[in-house]
Amino acid sequence: MTNESLAGYANLSLYSAMAVFTIAMVCHAVYLAALLPARDRLPAGAAARDRELVGAGAPVQAEAPARPELSSRAAKAAGIGSTTTWLGGFLLLLSVVLRGVAVHRWPLGNMFEFAVMGSMFTVLAYSIWSTRRDLRWLGLFITGPVLLVLGMAVAVWYTEASELMPSLRSYWLVIHVTVATLATAVFTIGAALSVVYLLKDAFERSGRASVLDRFPETPAIERTAYSLHIVAFPLWTFTLIAGAIWARQAWASYWNWDPKEVWTFVIWVVYAAYLHSRATSGISRQTATYIALAGYACIIVNFAVVNVFFVGQHSYSGL
């Protein structure tokens, strides 16, 4: 089988994964649609009695809303969503492997390949984690962004399979860029949880009912996001250090004030500020979470803006 054929099959696997993720996203959305506020599901008689008691001035005992049983359709949608998410992750893995075999190198040589492998890490990390905890409520917040990134990879960042530039032909590519990709995947899941936390906290403060009432408790979501950032931060620290070592070998200097180097350090500083603020008693959890999201915004700028519009020693986007 020729390299061109392998590259074609890699693209076919990628397109198949996108189709599967579309199904998964719809199923996760159907599942969330079934998680209506408990108040809306009260029997008509019970709701009428509450109105009568309040109208008569009688005190009403505040009780935690009961969690209604999911309908069979919602449970089926959740199951299909989880299964198709797994399937999409394996299709991305197949695409990455075929791409690597086609080009005879580690498939992280340009923006397109980084986006595909990063999406693969994100989905597989979420799927493996979901075998230990019920994360069906998070599925839409994972498959949606992943599908968006893959769409950008195909439509904007696509690069034909080719050999690496001479300066990239190093074992540090496997170490440095792979760890950076893995760290980005963990940061992505942490960012999704941070968004959910802020949304749920805002609805709770306003007293409005929403589908978020059926999610885990707000402090638990925030702690989980914090734990993921604790995992990702050392990975990003290693990325920064490994990049400096590779720069010394490739360009005879540990630091060259290259735009990519600078933004990698900016990301590190912002996430360090987040971890520090999270451990400081005088700073609210909401403020710390906004700092974490600022760090993820820097990751997006580093990948989608610096790689394309800034000229430097890291101009390897392939575009």
Contacts of 115 (CB under 8 A, 6+ apart): 149, 150, 152, 153, 157
Question: pTM of the entire structure?
Answer: 0.87
Model pLDDT for residues 211-233, shown as the tens digit of each residue:
898 899 999 999 999 999 999 99
Please give the sequence-ordered ranges of beta strands (E in DSSP) within the chain, or none if there are none. Answer: none
Is 25 part of any domain? no
Is 29 part of any domain? no
Model pLDDT for residues 148-198, shown as the tens digit of each residue:
999 999 999 998 877 777 666 788 888 999 999 999 999 999 999 999 999
- At residue 56's C-alpha, the angle toward residues 54 and 57, to 5°, is 65
> Range of 277's domain?
165-319
What total of structural domains would you count in the chain? 1
Specify the higher pLDDT residue, 96 or 57: 96
Is 109 part of any domain? no
Is 229 part of any domain? yes
Q: What is the pLDDT of residue 74?
A: 81
Model pLDDT for residues 275-316, shown as the tens digit of each residue:
999 999 889 999 999 999 999 999 999 998 888 876 666 555
Is 224 part of any domain? yes
What is the three-state SS of 205-258?
A: HHCCCCHHHHCCCHHHHHHHHHHHHHHHHHHHHHHHHHHHHHHHHHHCCCCCCC
Model pLDDT for residues 19-73, shown as the tens digit of each residue:
999 999 999 999 998 887 544 444 444 444 444 444 444 444 434 444 556 678 8
Is 34 part of any domain? no
Is 20 part of any domain? no
Is 220 part of any domain? yes
Which phi and psi angles does 49 have, rounded to 5°? -65, -40
